[in-house]
Structure 1
């Protein structure tokens, strides 16, 4: 049964527009270049050719650096890395070279030899005859398998969740649907929560409650999101076969205007598809107060509230509303090469939602209809309260010694959800969480590392090494009213058999050495070791803690080395090649090791005998940048990434009668097991073209993969498709710029091919796989206004019309059950003071 279609009025939107246009409490995101002049950022500049180092500095800071070609000819420099301002990095690069620099405007730096005469001088700006370095390459200095979403892109996206924010990245997909508490992220066909590693300010975020989403961090708190696709870095280990998502929260240095010691920021936003309101603001400051120590601090608050979502075609999805309040407190101090940073972020939300948040429209049981529509709906819902906390402490030292660049970090994070059923005709089953359940996943994390820069054997080395410790804990409890009188179920109080309690502690060490073989070719060998000790908490219900059913919650350990090798070759000033390989590992998680069933089933045992999974993975890439391609002053950036994964001993749940054949009825076999291997491979392409008046972007992703035999029948004589492969997708943007008005506008489109490569019709795969899905296209419009001068300076206006043709579509990775938002008008207005 469905709800009536949407017939809302535009009057609330008109009132909002009038209010925000009349308001002066608005805000603008600081220009990246200006922020990086006044605030330190993480820089990694190669040694050797000064020209190459300046190219890297321009790309990483988005500054434009100009100079005559003869200024840097034949000049070499030592590598520079660390948390530095642009000024500090330039000073180190140019030390002893006889080259000086000066700012020409807010985002341009000119270099010259000391005492040299410039060809032309105009006020404070100096222009040299030959410009040889142009900063601001669209894709920066990262490899093609790395995507960075900066502050400007975050503001333009106006996303309500992290999965929505990263969804426009080739190879990355939102899964789960429109309900924020049910959204997950899939990267390159890896869809399990443990396949995408997520960190906020270095703190791991691990939440794997069944059908309840992955990450609940408010996008308004973030200044940058970096997506490292694949599992080829030894810096991160034990899982993350799809990739790693690194989120960085805002700090005072990102928000302050040039010359400010304190400031304020405010923003208001609205979108029509779910009538969502957003209000957010911050106060911040940075000063030394006349002492040798520079202090900084930021306090940010965000409130977001929406009604039920209107999907394409007009239908309203019941109980898809949301309400979220978030806060961020961040402080820091730096002195004499020492830097201390602390942060605490907290978010809280509550709403009514379906028992499984990953689902589409609510279905109504005909037996409940005599009770009335509202009561019939309520019987399908649970009241969820979610709390998300992240706290970090970080210390960095970058002194005068190239050998000591130390970093220490400690963090604690937790995500907890309390769910309650209050409307039901009969007691809710334990398989759907009972009447009430609690699940809290927490992580205590420590890191210590150092980076040493030195020359050995005539080659420059950047040696990064460290140790890490992570203590992960799962606290779970349920009240099963249907079995409240049964001692075998501990009178209704126990952890669900499919979501056990337990701890998993990981101790790790890693080393990686970036070696400059030549000025244009570098290699980075690396090695990581992980020791993982897991221990379950015996279930309080004797039914699920029975030695006769092979229930064993005692500790088990897994360990392994992850070797890796990367190479980068600057073939020409415009073309770079990349290659990465790793033999990554993933230890089974608590759910896989200690989930169980009763003795009455055929596969009841815990799965302590599981082997680690291995991924023999490789990335290849090329990055091409050209200027003056079709027109004077234009630029074209193109990058291509190819990947191949071969996963051995994958862990899956034992399902299917074929997998249970020949087993005795007492169920002396584990519920999870290692199954035959699978592979996935694909290609991702990104291209950006820009002139003074126009710009365009293309993003393309294609992937395929097959599993030997089948999940539900390992004896099947053939291969089957993987479940979580995203369809072939093309992302397109075409825009125009009006530089005199600081205005840009344009069109966006997403073209998705049909996905018929699903195991749904292979070897009885309809019991676990998703049906084939048709292709679709979705179009939108956008406008961005960021005035740089006049009374509206420091103001930003972002407007977007998404799904402009109101198309109803169900992405393949929504399991074919959840449609996406319909026509959606978004607007945000902000200002810095």
Structure 2
């Protein structure tokens, strides 16, 4: 006791040390190429669609990003068949642990129609990274989105909180309203209920031209319940719903001029899960979660003027799954292990039912129906060897069975006058595929500041139900090997007391063979570099990122048309009045891209462009306005008329847009 008292008397109270932060911290402690968009950044960006949250991430390209219908994401040139389909299976989209993204729907995308106000955090991993817990074929990357929770709004033992937000945007005369109710009557139970509505009219580009069918109405809802059974066990139920009703809009969401046929399009997305977490504090070998998941993605198309199947079909994808995953912590000698093991069983049922004409009730041959039954087991072991070296081997085995259902002789019309009759795929016909995939990544820290990292990964993108219409595709998987190497730096007090400097440089190379996604392309070779940096000083903060990717096909010098344009982005900001006021300026530049053989559509050559934006956020933490959040931003400040590469040549980006919002938590 005397010795303890003596030590206490000799100790020095250093007080609270506050480190400056930028808007986006760089993930320097991992070998994966990962960017995290936090709740703070989500609020600051005031995005109108989920994918708009991602366009500040290096090597991430948006398809139809300003409108939720048809929206899709390309990472390192993979993940979307731009201008035609919404997904090619090479990017995994995970919402609350539930796989998202429907099968390919011709010129209507993958139905990634999700309200950004639902989410507290979005993580983008470029390349295979640590995706093997979710997919065998995510060689492009993984997007993980986590919805909000009651604990995000309940502070200091509060039992009740209500948050109301209203907002507007000038381009399209849009408005937003979201209401969040969070309550926790006791320590065991908490709940969150969210309802939102976003409405935007047709927008205009920088030249003042109306962007056809760019407006939308989008109601959304979320329910999240947590019940803490005891100190070790928690039950969670989550349910989210999004819908977009549209009337008399062009069929093609990417290029409205592709056809003069107007349709009514009704898009719905339902995500639900029930999770049980068992994490006893006295047993480091057990941190178990069982998650039962359900996903329903639905798009109904109908036309009053044309009776062809293409314009009168009900597309639906229904997915049920069960995941069991455990994280165990243990040591073997000088090696500390974080061992993640899991098993997943999933059934995906897809139908594209024709609603008129001779083949009414059958599946449209452009979107064949059936079931995809699969199971997978996976393992990842993060091994910390001593103080400096970390190795992470990962392995996944997946087996699937695709079965045709309700695919009779059908006629598909690719326009008012061009139709093709496809022979029947006999009901019950099945194809089986399996794959062993995995990766090995390593990170070595030379010091507390400087580290190098690298990885090699092997992927197989197994056939999807859409491949039922192609005898060659259904028999083989796309294969790919990705190699990455990089350098990271992370230092506090780099140039001044309390500042923080971080950067991460990654070079990658991806080779894909046995290709089935792109017509006439069997092999794709991609290579590129990505750079992210952040600096936070007591006087200001700065974020910078840049990316460059090159791609060729079929072991020739011919360009891979879907490789993204080179981009660079800079954000400068300053926080004032005890961080109550945040002012920022942002500039993004994309170089012109003529590395394409395309002459029209999404892969037509693009010119270089630069856009600027300013934003202000005032969040008073005392006084009469405490609890309010005031935000204002101007996107495309100079009203630039431009077309991002991989956006259809007929669709320019949105012009100047002033966004305002007020939120209050009671």
TM-based fold match above 0.5: yes
* Aligned position for 1:541: 409
* Aligned position for 2:184: 286
Instruction: Please say if residues 31 and 455 of structure 2, whose CA atoms lie closer than 8 Å, have aligned partners that are also in contact.
Output: no
- Where do 1:572-587 residues align within 5 Å? 572-587=447-462
* Aligned position for 1:793: 626
Q: Deviations over 1:523-581 (max 9, x none)?
A: 1112110101111124233679x999695561001111112111122221112222222
Instruction: Please say if residues 505 and 534 of structure 1, whose CA atoms lie closer than 8 Å, have aligned partners that are also in contact.
Output: yes
Q: 1:117 and 1:418 mapped to 2: Cα distance?
A: 73
Instruction: Please say if residues 376 and 397 of structure 2, whose CA atoms lie closer than 8 Å, have aligned partners that are also in contact.
Output: yes
1:418 equivalenced with 2:294 (yes/no): no
1:777 equivalenced with 2:615 (yes/no): no
* Aligned position for 1:405: 287
RMSD of aligned alpha carbons: 2.6
1:312 equivalenced with 2:217 (yes/no): no
Change (3 A) 1:116 1:529: farther
* Aligned position for 2:83: none
* Aligned position for 2:152: 254
* Aligned position for 1:300: 194
* Aligned position for 1:359: 255
1:635 equivalenced with 2:500 (yes/no): yes
* Aligned position for 1:171: 59
SS at match of 2:158: coil
Shift of 1:737: 2.3
Aligned pair partner of 1:389 in 259, 265, 270: 270
Q: Which has the higher strand share?
A: 2
1:157 equivalenced with 2:45 (yes/no): yes
Aligned pair partner of 2:224 in 330, 333, 346: 330
Q: 2:258 and 2:483 mapped to 1: Cα distance?
A: 44
1:815 equivalenced with 2:653 (yes/no): no
Instruction: Please say if residues 615 and 634 of structure 2, whose CA atoms lie closer than 8 Å, have aligned partners that are also in contact.
Output: yes
Shift of 1:456: 2.0
Shift of 1:344: 0.7
Q: 1:654 and 1:210 mapped to 2: Cα distance?
A: 15
Shift of 1:690: 1.7
Aligned pair partner of 2:73 in 175, 185, 188: 185
Aligned pair partner of 2:373 in 505, 530, 534: 505
- Where do 1:450-599 residues align within 5 Å? 450-481=326-357, 484=358, 490=359, 492-541=360-409, 551=425, 554-592=429-467, 594-595=468-469
* Aligned position for 1:34: none
* Aligned position for 2:545: 699
* Aligned position for 1:487: none
SS at match of 1:522: strand
Change (3 A) 1:573 1:437: same
Aligned pair partner of 2:215 in 321, 339, 347: 321
Aligned pair partner of 1:689 in 529, 535, 539: 535
Shift of 1:319: 2.4
* Aligned position for 2:525: 679
Instruction: Please say if residues 488 and 504 of structure 2, whose CA atoms lie closer than 8 Å, have aligned partners that are also in contact.
Output: yes
Q: TM-score, normalised by structure 2?
A: 0.91
* Aligned position for 2:417: none
* Aligned position for 1:670: none
Q: How many residues of Structure 1 are paired with residues of Structure 2 in the alignment?
A: 641
Q: Deviations over 1:303-354 (max 9, x none)?
A: 1111111111111123221001111011011222111111111112201321
SS at match of 2:42: helix
Change (3 A) 1:178 1:264: closer
Name whichever of 270-279 and 607-616 sits farther off: 607-616
Shift of 1:796: 1.3
1:617 equivalenced with 2:482 (yes/no): yes
Q: Which has the higher helix share?
A: 1
SS at match of 2:466: helix
Q: 1:229 and 1:250 mapped to 2: Cα distance?
A: 24
Change (3 A) 1:135 1:819: closer
Instruction: Please say if residues 252 and 258 of structure 2, whose CA atoms lie closer than 8 Å, have aligned partners that are also in contact.
Output: no
Q: 2:202 and 2:19 mapped to 1: Cα distance?
A: 51
Q: 1:263 and 1:609 mapped to 2: Cα distance?
A: 52
SS at match of 2:267: strand
Instruction: Please say if residues 595 and 607 of structure 1, whose CA atoms lie closer than 8 Å, have aligned partners that are also in contact.
Output: no
Q: 2:654 and 2:289 mapped to 1: Cα distance?
A: 43
Q: 1:506 and 1:743 mapped to 2: Cα distance?
A: 51
Note the residue ranges of structure 1 that are not aligned, 5 or more in a row: 1-97, 100-111, 121-125, 365-378, 485-489, 597-605, 656-674, 710-717, 761-765
Change (3 A) 1:741 1:528: closer
SS at match of 2:57: coil
Change (3 A) 1:699 1:132: closer
Name whichever of 678-687 and 616-625 sits farther off: 616-625
* Aligned position for 2:118: 221
Q: 1:825 and 1:819 mapped to 2: Cα distance?
A: 18
Q: 1:744 and 1:778 mapped to 2: Cα distance?
A: 20
Change (3 A) 1:612 1:628: same
SS at match of 1:798: strand
Change (3 A) 1:797 1:497: same
Larger Rg: 1
Q: Deviations over 1:372-394 (max 9, x none)?
A: xxxxxxx6321111111000111
Instruction: Please say if residues 475 and 501 of structure 1, whose CA atoms lie closer than 8 Å, have aligned partners that are also in contact.
Output: yes
Change (3 A) 1:142 1:250: farther
SS at match of 1:391: strand
Change (3 A) 1:769 1:316: closer
* Aligned position for 1:85: none
* Aligned position for 2:415: none
SS at match of 2:446: strand
Q: 1:768 and 1:341 mapped to 2: Cα distance?
A: 45
SS at match of 1:581: strand
